[in-house]
Amino acid sequence: MIKKIMIGILVGIGSILPGVSGGMIAASFDVYAKLIRALDELTKTPIKAVISIWEYLLGILIGVLLGFLVIANIFYLIPLPSTLLFIGLILGGLPEVYVLSKQEHQKFKWISITVLSFLLMLSITIFGQGLNNQGSTDANFMIWIVVGMMLALSLIVPGLSGTMLLLVIGFYTPLIFLGKTMIEAVVTLNIDLLMQNIPTLIYVVIGLILAFIILAKVISFVLKKFPKTFYQVILGIVIAAPINIMISLKDELLLEDVPVDIFDVKTHWLMWVIGLILVPIGIWIARKFIKDSKDETEENQRGNT
């Protein structure tokens, strides 16, 4: 149970960090298909669907809340090491995605789809630079519903960072401010501040629910009909992820009030050293989680026979 909650926490945090995809982390830990199937069943058997993944959902909720605090505090203090740790976590799940995507009898198709997926994700990141505009916390409810839907993309579509889309339209900072404000209001029991922000939070939740219901069904259908093709696309996305994440981080930090160029290695050499040490640690954590999850699944299967 603890392992599932911990994986959920990583997925939740990944959904909030810019350039990182919670869905991609879920795919790396080989729990993505299970989450999507459960979301697809929400409209048919909601109680059963929630019970089947409640540990992951609890972890995701904790992860999202932690994510707001991470962004507001730790991430802005040490953005490079924390990002490289997440890259390590993603790379640690690469072998599982590779196995699920493998098609020896259709090798050309397998490689072609993976390469195309890789190039598509890379081009989206490269050609999407410089589109960021300033947003406003006083946006109307429709915009906040769209913000909720974009946030859900990080959980539903592996490799697609909804938070990066929010950066593009200028609503990432307002969203982080909203989350941080809500947490502070609850912790300090500031009812006035809480009530002031609840309507906006409700609009975001509506967007999340709409995205979950619609997109989860589409992806569940694809997983049933074209599983190999789906994971070939995911493989390309995961391979492109480290490059995409670093480009996205560079762009975001250059937009700060005091711009920071993380590729100025002479200035930020210590952060690079710490970050590069954290990459293999992230890979090890991912491999450990995946191995333990597989062992737990095998034990459950033996117990049911």
The crossing angle, in degrees rounded to 10, of helices 269-304 and 2-16 is: 140
Q: What is the DSSP string of 271-291?
A: HHHHHHHHHHHHHHHHHHHHH
Of 52 and 40, the one with more pLDDT: 52
Residue spans per domain, the chain: 2-296
What digits encode the pLDDT tens for the residues 273-300? 999 999 999 889 878 777 766 665 566 5
Residue 278: per-residue pLDDT: 93
Residue 116: per-residue pLDDT: 95
What digits encode the pLDDT tens for the residues 158-214? 666 677 667 655 577 678 878 888 888 888 889 998 898 898 889 988 998 888 888
Q: What is the pTM of this model?
A: 0.66
Q: What share of the chain is helix, strand, coil (3-state, %, to 5)?
A: 80, 0, 20
Residue 131: per-residue pLDDT: 45
Q: What percentage of the chain exceeds 70 in pLDDT?
A: 85
Residue 129: per-residue pLDDT: 53
Q: Is pLDDT at 301 greater than 90 in this prediction?
A: no
d(CA 198, CA 296) in angstroms, rounded, equals 40
Residue 279: per-residue pLDDT: 93
Of 103 and 292, the one with more pLDDT: 103
